[in-house]
Amino acid sequence: MSQEDRSERRWREAFTAILKDTPTDYSRRHEQMTAIRQSFYRQLAIALAQPLRDYLVSLPQETYEQKSHLARWLNEQLNSVGLAVLCHRTYRPATLIAESDSTGKGYYALEVHDESSHHIRTLSKRRSLPFIELVQDDPNAAPPLSARVTKGRGTHNQR
């Protein structure tokens, strides 16, 4: 049995043990399953964040095409595990995008979806990659957009 197979087996056994300890009543079990799901995504985000940031800084980001490729790749990677970039202005899951400009260097931007699924640009015209923090890609679990958007600039954490 390979190391990967043993690791997956240990994970399944641990998860099965956790599930055995859940209440038998549906409402209470559902509540606990929701908490387990949220905890899983938090831990997944923590485990991936730093290795991902380290990898991203090694990628070329000088041109719009490079920024666009990086943004597409990042969003595909995060989508495959149910995560997204956290927008520090709204505390909602965001999509990293690249915007073109006349210089050919391009910019990074973040986009979130409001409660009506409209695309809202919350961060734009960043030449360098914004600080990447990960969050579960579940807009329903995020605070309402109207409660988080603030007026003015400089509301992002610059790390």
pLDDT band at 139; cut points 50, 70, 90:
low
The mean of the pLDDT values for the chain is 86
- Asked if 140 and 130 count as a contact pair (C-beta separation under 8 A), the reply is no
In the chain, alpha helices (H)? 3-20, 26-57, 64-80, 145-148
Tell whether the model's pLDDT for residue 149 goes beyond 60.
no
Q: What distance in Å separates the CA atoms of residue 158 and residue 131, rounded to the nearest whole number?
A: 7
Q: pLDDT, tens digit, for every residue of 92-117?
A: 999 999 999 999 999 999 999 877 77
- Contact assessment for residue 89 and residue 156, using Cβ atoms and an 8 Å cutoff: yes
Across the strands, what pairs with 98?
Answer: 108
Looking at residue 82, what is its pLDDT?
Answer: 95
Q: What is the pLDDT of residues 26-57, one digit of tens each?
A: 999 999 999 999 999 999 999 999 999 999 99
pLDDT at 153: 39
How many angstroms separate the CA atoms of 127 and 140, rounded? 30
Angle between helices 26-57 and 64-80 (to 10 degrees): 150
Q: What is the DSSP letter of 111?
A: E
Which residue do the tokens 């202005």 mark?
A: 89
Per-residue burial over 31-57, b if 16 or more Cβ lie within 10 Å, else e, is ebeeeeeeeebeeebeebbeebeeeee
Is the pLDDT at 152 greater than 80, yes or no? no
Tell me the CB-side half-sphere exposure of residue 68, using CA atoms within 13 A: 9
Q: Is the pTM of this model over 0.95?
A: no
Gap between the Cα atoms of 9 and 50, Å rounded? 26
